[in-house]
Amino acid sequence: MSPDVRVEMEDGYVAVRSGADARLRVLFFPHAGGSAISLLPLASELPQGTESLLFDRPGRGVRDGEPRLSTFEEARRDLTSRVEPLLDRPTILFGHSLGGLLGDAVVRSLSPERRDRIRKVIVSSAPSPRRAAAVAATLPSPPGRRSRADLLAHLTDYGGTPAEVFSAPELLESVIEAFGDDMLLMDSYGQDPACPVPETDYELWTGREDASTALDELQAWAEAVERPLRERVFPGGHFYLTEQAEARATLRRIAGAELQRLTSPHDQEALT
């Protein structure tokens, strides 16, 4: 991490700032069971002129002590209320897994004026809205909490959990509890048919060995946003973001390109 980068704990998120004047904001939404800090390696390598805000869900990280949410709709409303006031400048949204679904839901919930500030939405290893809704439709309403055995099996299959966690019983139980809380959100996923289709550029990022990503996910996401979208496939599994540096370098290039565009006369006029 550059010595010019400052990491600050704010109300509901962790802020990563470099330089005094942030012309571009990047919002990060973590995976099920994850916290804002899990995406810090990704956020801390972005170029000067970028401000990264890494969001925690209630009961986690900087929001520890707040009541945890039990439905996807509660999480959508909570996150939208926090994101909307921050859209005062060009913004990129990056959500991993559950965070990708939440990011998409937030974009659809925004007013057109706020939505126009979003330059790009990156959904990473996230099931399409169609697949998430199909899975949720097979479960009771409201869905019950998944069993410990089921949660542990998913954690093992997804990877990304350090081996030492599995040999530390108390730590493992806290990880399983957090993951179970967030799977309640995933299992109650639903999308209001009246929600608008966002007129925003989307990208789908996946790990080549990620067994949780269906082969037709790109097409399903394209149908969800009603336009073609770019797919980027990286080496690794569900947690490819932490397995190699290529994804971090790609996000750095995307942010740099957006900053370059913001120096053009057309974009400067649009921001005034």
Which residue range forms the structural domain that includes residue 60?
Answer: 5-271
In order of 3, 16, 95, the CA distances from 6 in angstroms are 8, 6, 22
In this structure, what are the phi and psi dihedrals at residue 246, rounded to the nearest 5 degrees? -60, -40
d(CA 194, CA 174): 38
Q: Which residues pair with 17 in a beta bridge?
A: 6, 51
DSSP 8-state code for residue 25: E
Please report where in the chains the tokens 């972005």 appear, as a residue: 46
Beta strands in the chain (DSSP E): 5-9, 13-18, 24-29, 50-55, 91-96, 118-124, 202-207, 230-234
The count of structural domains within the chain is: 1
What is the gyration radius of the CA atoms in the chain, in angstroms? 18
Distance spanning both ends of the chain, measured CA to CA:
33
Spans of the chain, pLDDT less than 70 = 1-3, 193-194, 264-272
Q: What is the pTM of this model?
A: 0.92
Any residues with CB less than 8 A from the CB of 195 and at least 6 apart, and which?
A: 105, 108, 109
d(CA 37, CA 14): 8
Name the token pair of 156. 């093992």
Any residues with CB less than 8 A from the CB of 53 and at least 6 apart, and which?
A: 10, 13, 14, 15, 16, 25, 26, 27, 28, 86
**Predicted pLDDT of residue 212:** 82
Q: Which residues pair with 53 in a beta bridge?
A: 15, 27
**Predicted pLDDT of residue 264:** 66
CATH of the domain at 44: 3.40.50.1820
Q: Which residues pair with 120 in a beta bridge?
A: 92
DSSP 8-state code for residue 73: H
Q: Could you count the other beta carbons within 10 Å of the beta carbon of residue 94?
A: 28
Name the token pair of 271. 């921001």
Please report where in the chains the tokens 């925004």 appear, as a residue: 110
Span 7-66, pLDDT tens digits: 999 989 999 987 778 999 999 999 999 999 999 999 999 999 999 999 999 999 999 999
